[in-house]
Chains A and B, each alone.
Chain A
Amino acid sequence: MGPLQHSESAAVIVTATAPARRRASSPATVWDRVKRTRAAVFGLVVVAAVIGGALLAPWIAPYDPARQFTDGLSPEGRPLPPSGRFWLGTDLLGRDLLTRLIYGARVSLLIGVLANAAALTIGTLFGAAAGYFRGWVSTVFMRLTDMMMAFPALILAIALAAILRPSLWIVAMVIAMVNWVWIARIIYSQVLSTSQREFIEAARALGVPTWRIFWKHLFPHLLPILLVWGTLGVSTTVMFEASLSFLGVGVRPPTPSWGGTINESQSYFLEAPWLVAFPGAAILLTSLAFNLVGDTLRDAIDPQLRSR
């Protein structure tokens, strides 16, 4: 039980005065810590590579992502496994999978980050407000989340697909609308308990403004769970985009996305495993990379959780 013994008494400091914890997280030390962690470096490299790939797709991708090669399918119509010509094999239409993954990073990254961030923001605001203020605010906000959850997102997506011009913004909006509720519920429970702790009550008694209590005292305690949610959310959001695009809300074929590639070829995975394995690996690697970076950043910022 090593780490436990080594924990410092930072919590005591926190209870007394908040500014004490600021000292540890000046920008220089944050960077120092990030640099020191190999995992974080690896994460950064992956994130940078994905962003780079998305931006530079037209220059680095071997082919046109929409091009259906006549020799990209076997005479029986089977996709081709990885080869010298098609490094990661071809998809069900005889298109180059590598090319489609590189281009697919654009949609998937944008959705994974954008929709996720929107959901996190809305969810945190609602959850924290409901947990902190109690009373009618809590009732109204939390019943609103109940209602949003019961609401069939699928039907909303179908309706939007038919009414509006499909775009990534709508996808992001729908995903945010569906996902924020979860975050709100979790944050609500966290805040319910955290806001009863001594240091918050102390701050309240000292007349610290509410926004300051939120930002300085409450938020750092929510950060770990938000990071969990945000990084795991990258994967699920990318897959969610695919289902929404399937219903016609999002990108239109032949625009590639990682989730879309998995979605259209998942029933083939016993016969053509590369069609699921490569985009799946891309999603897994990207969300892991975000997690590594996020974890390290959080450790650096939050001294209470630091253990050396």
Chain B
Amino acid sequence: MRQGWIGLAALVGLALLASLVAPTWGQNRGDSMIVTFKDDISTLDPAIGYDWQNWSIIKSIFDGLMDYEPGTTKLVPHLAESFTVSADGKSYTFKLRRGVKFHNGREVTAADVKYSLERTLNPKTQSPGAGFFGDIAGTKEFADGKAKEVSGIKTADKYTIAFTLSKPNAAFLHILALNFAHVVPKEEVEKTGADFGHKPVGTGAFKVKEWVLGQRLVLARNPDYFVKGRPYLEEIVFQVGVEPNVAFLKLQRGEVDILGDGIPPAEFTKVMNDAKLRALVAVGDQLQTGYVTINTQVKPFTDVRVRRAVNMAIDKQRIIRIINNRAVPAVQVLPPLMPGYDKEYKGYVFDVAQAKKLLAEAGYPSGFSTVLYANNTDPNPRIAQAIQQDLAAIGIKAELKTLAQSTVIEAGGTKGQAPLLWSGGMAWIADYPDPNDFYWPILSCASLSPGTWNWAWYCNQRVEKMVEEADALVQASQAAAREAKYRDIYRAVMQDAPWIPIFHEKRYTMHTVRIGGSPLLFNDPIHIPVHYTEVRVVQ
């Protein structure tokens, strides 16, 4: 019996001991901000990092020729001072800003820009972004090892760099704003080798101060940052491995400032119904569409009438209710924030009777059996089950395969395997705010091959031609004409119905009252969860 009491006494003793230490945890943090994430931060190498989490951290350590006005999708020169585009849209010339220094003190030159891009294009780097730059002349020869340098990238002098494209691409400036084109110092890359992603040296607003694997990453202000008065914060601490539900408790106690993974779904309605908590939430749009891909090569989805029928069968409003109304229904491919979004287009209206009629016309009056793939992380299995029930209402029996993300991606990229696939949990937000980012990687004939993300296995040569024409409209004066063309393009795509667009998710960012700045910064379409360089401590 004595053992029991000793155990109890020990427990009480430990608790008391712990309470003595406790008060020091919520101390005053000065001009520092704490952000929590569930997952580890992977590499900070701009040529390699490609998830929503490290994307904006990399952007605060490195810079590219182009960037966006904070909180918007408006392109502005960044490391570049100015640039010119030739009339045929095939050559771009940039003048670099002078006196910009890497964290190691050396000045940035045109040669660094060239080196950085060639590093991304070099297969040894294993960069996922190499494909974005395929329009630059000579990239293929370089990647194949037939050329020592990329012929389309030339340094005219120390501060001038010129690009020659093999075909015009209206999104080229956006592409140069991607992290994969951010500038790195050659000497540091060579010094640290494969560890560069953990000892990053750039030109950015912050530099890495401390990195304890699996626990925290600490960034410190770069006092020599070339944008005057930025950044506002002295320090950003990223705490990793923090469960969203626990992060939420920490935020309420003032122990952390930003919920990197957003408001935990379980607490969402509570937050929105509580005036005090609601005040800490910023709401905005993001460049995202949640969709079901319909494999156009798998029977009976080879018949466009069947694809249209399933488009009409889904009650999107109900699905949105399942995720606590954190989205707006989608009727088309592009999200509302994207240039080329078609306000007039109504898409396929929810109409069970019409859907049944179409199915009957296609020869399936009593429906058929098929398979729906989905990622197994909440809320995706729930959304998939709602879709499953809606399909059942028109006679389509969809077996549900909710699997690990890697397996679902593999199924989608394997020819003839996944008839229907709910993209949630994998539908990455746009790489850059241009309508062609929703076409080339996921809907084009060019991406019609195993291993890509064209999970609808969709290819319409007529549409492909239209996109090529639209992308040749590179001058600023042609922007409106290009947008109009893209509206036609995505109407044509929806005519073929390779997707069921379900919803556009809204972004809810929760932060403590200490952190302020323009409300736009908390919903920056490019920087998630917030624009680290622009936010500040207000209390």
Contact = CB atoms under 8 A, between A and B. Distances in A.
| A and B are interacting partners | yes
Interface of A: 66-68, 70, 73-78, 92-93, 158, 161-162, 246-248, 252-254, 264, 267-268, 270-272
B318 A70 contact: yes
A248 B389 CA distance: 19
B382 A92 contact: yes
B265 interface: yes
Which 6 pairs of residues, A with B, have the shortest CB-CB distance? A268-B266, A77-B324, A248-B403, A77-B321, A76-B269, A267-B266
B245 A254 contact: no
A68 B385 contact: yes
A56 to B, nearest CB: 25
A74, A75, A270: which has the most chain B beta carbons within 10 Å? A270
B378 A247 contact: no
Contacts of A254: 385, 388, 400
Contact of B270 (A67, A68, A92, A271): A271
B269 A248 contact: no
B349 interface: no
B426 interface: no
B269 A267 contact: no
B399 interface: yes
A161 B407 contact: yes
B264 interface: yes
Contacts of B378: 264, 267
Interface in B141-169: none
A68 B389 CA distance: 8
Main secondary structure of the interface of A (DSSP, over half): loop
B362 interface: no
B384 interface: yes
B385 A253 contact: yes
B189 interface: no
B266 A248 contact: no
A264 B377 CA distance: 9
A271 B270 CA distance: 8
Contacts of B264: 267
A253 B388 CA distance: 10
A73 B322 contact: yes
Nearest to A266: B266
22 contacts: A73-B322, A74-B269, A76-B272, A76-B324, A77-B322, A78-B324, A92-B322, A161-B407, A162-B403, A247-B376, A248-B376, A248-B403, A252-B400, A253-B381, A253-B385, A253-B400, A254-B388, A267-B264, A270-B266, A270-B267, A271-B269, A271-B270
A77 B325 contact: yes
A248 B402 contact: yes
B266 A271 contact: yes
Contacts of B379: 92
B404 interface: yes
B269 A77 contact: yes
B376 A246 contact: yes
A66 B398 CA distance: 13
A93 B269 contact: no
Contact of B322 (A67, A93, A246, A252): A93
Interface string B383-401: 0111011000000000111
A253 B384 contact: yes
A68 B324 contact: no
Contact of B385 (A70, A93, A267): A93
Contacts of A252: 399-402
Contacts of B389: 66-68
A161 B403 contact: yes
A37 to B, nearest CB: 27
B403 A77 contact: no
B323 interface: yes
Nearest to B249: A270
A158 B404 contact: yes
A264 to B, nearest CB: 7
B323 A248 contact: no
A270 B265 CA distance: 12
A77 B385 contact: no
Given A246-B376, A247-B404, A78 B269 contact: yes
A272 B269 CA distance: 12
Nearest to B411: A162
Contacts of B384: 253
Contacts of B325: 76-77
Contacts of A264: 378, 381-382
Contact of A267 (B245, B381, B382, B407): B245
A77 B399 contact: no
Given A73-B321, A253-B384, A253-B402, 17 more contacts: A67-B389, A68-B386, A68-B389, A77-B321, A77-B322, A92-B379, A93-B385, A93-B386, A161-B404, A248-B376, A248-B402, A252-B399, A252-B401, A253-B381, A254-B400, A270-B266, A271-B270
Contacts of A161: 403-404, 407
B404 A248 contact: yes
B407 A162 contact: yes
B402 A158 contact: no
A247 B403 contact: yes
Contacts of B385: 68, 93, 253-254
A271 B386 contact: no
A162 B265 CA distance: 29
Nearest to A272: B266
A267 B378 CA distance: 10
Contacts of B381: 253, 264
Interface string B259-273: 000001111011011
A279 B68 CA distance: 51
Contacts of B272: 76
Nearest to B322: A77
A268 B378 CA distance: 12
Contacts of B399: 252
A247 B325 CA distance: 27
A89 to B, nearest CB: 15
B267 A271 contact: yes
Nearest to B389: A68
B5 to A, nearest CB: 18
Contacts of B323: 77
Contacts of A267: 245, 264-266, 378
A54 B325 CA distance: 36
Contacts of A75: 321
A148 B511 CA distance: 46
Nearest to A94: B322
A246 B403 CA distance: 7
A226 to B, nearest CB: 26
A236 to B, nearest CB: 21
Nearest to A263: B378
Nearest to B388: A254
B361 to A, nearest CB: 28
A67, A75, A264, A267: which has the most chain B beta carbons within 10 Å? A267
Nearest to A95: B385
A162 B379 CA distance: 21
Nearest to B265: A267
A161 B382 CA distance: 19
